[in-house]
């Protein structure tokens, strides 16, 4: 499991680098990763990008969804149906005042609003939704987006 933890933080590290960090061999690391990719323990890799630097003006929304559970299936069938929409980036079963937390991306506010009103809210079994738009990202997947002031000196105002 140490290898999986390293891959979450350093997916671009070479087999050699990973083996050195673990006190293992490159062959053992490569074999374990290949096994995990084959059995779908590892589903994929992605880069965490800073939208402000790359000029990404897309909109992300966190949507709280309340559902009617199905007899014998709970929330799974409807949750998987929602997760298959192209606009859905992530979909989680959650505790608390709602059942699913759905993360959606769109080109603009209107696109996200149309998705919620025409696709998501209209599904049988969806009782209600509450949409929250991402305004700024401070940390994503373990990566901080803003560097702290690198000096220990206090700012001096005139």
The C-alpha atoms of residue 88 and residue 60 are separated, in whole angstroms, by 10
Q: What pLDDT does 145 receive?
A: 87
The C-alpha atoms of residue 142 and residue 138 are separated, in whole angstroms, by 10
Whole-prediction pTM? 0.81
Rounded mean pLDDT for each run of 10 residues along the chain, 158 residues in total: 90 94 94 96 90 91 96 90 97 96 97 97 96 94 76 64
Helix axis angle for 2-9 and 26-38, nearest 10°, is: 80
Strands 100-106 and 59-67: antiparallel
CA dihedral 26, 45, 94, 143 (to 10 degrees): 90
Q: What pLDDT does 73 receive?
A: 79
Q: What pLDDT does 98 receive?
A: 97
The C-alpha atoms of residue 84 and residue 102 are separated, in whole angstroms, by 11
The C-alpha atoms of residue 133 and residue 125 are separated, in whole angstroms, by 24
């Amino acid at each position: 499991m140490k290898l999986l933890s390293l891959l979450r933080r350093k997916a671009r590290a070479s087999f050699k680098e990973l083996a050195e960090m673990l006190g293992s061999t490159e062959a053992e690391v490569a074999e374990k990763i290949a096994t995990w990719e084959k059995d779908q323990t590892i589903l994929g890799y992605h880069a965490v990008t800073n939208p402000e630097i790359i000029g990404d003006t897309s909109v992300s929304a966190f949507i709280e969804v309340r559902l009617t559970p199905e007899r014998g299936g709970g929330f799974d069938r409807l949750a998987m149906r929602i997760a298959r929409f192209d606009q859905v980036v992530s979909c989680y079963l959650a505790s608390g005042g709602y059942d699913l937390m759905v993360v959606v991306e769109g080109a603009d506010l209107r696109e996200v609003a149309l998705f919620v009103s025409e696709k998501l809210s209209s599904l049988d079994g969806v009782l209600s939704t509450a949409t929250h738009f991402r305004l700024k990202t401070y940390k994503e997947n373990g990566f901080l987006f803003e560097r702290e002031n690198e000096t220990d000196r206090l700012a001096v105002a005139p």
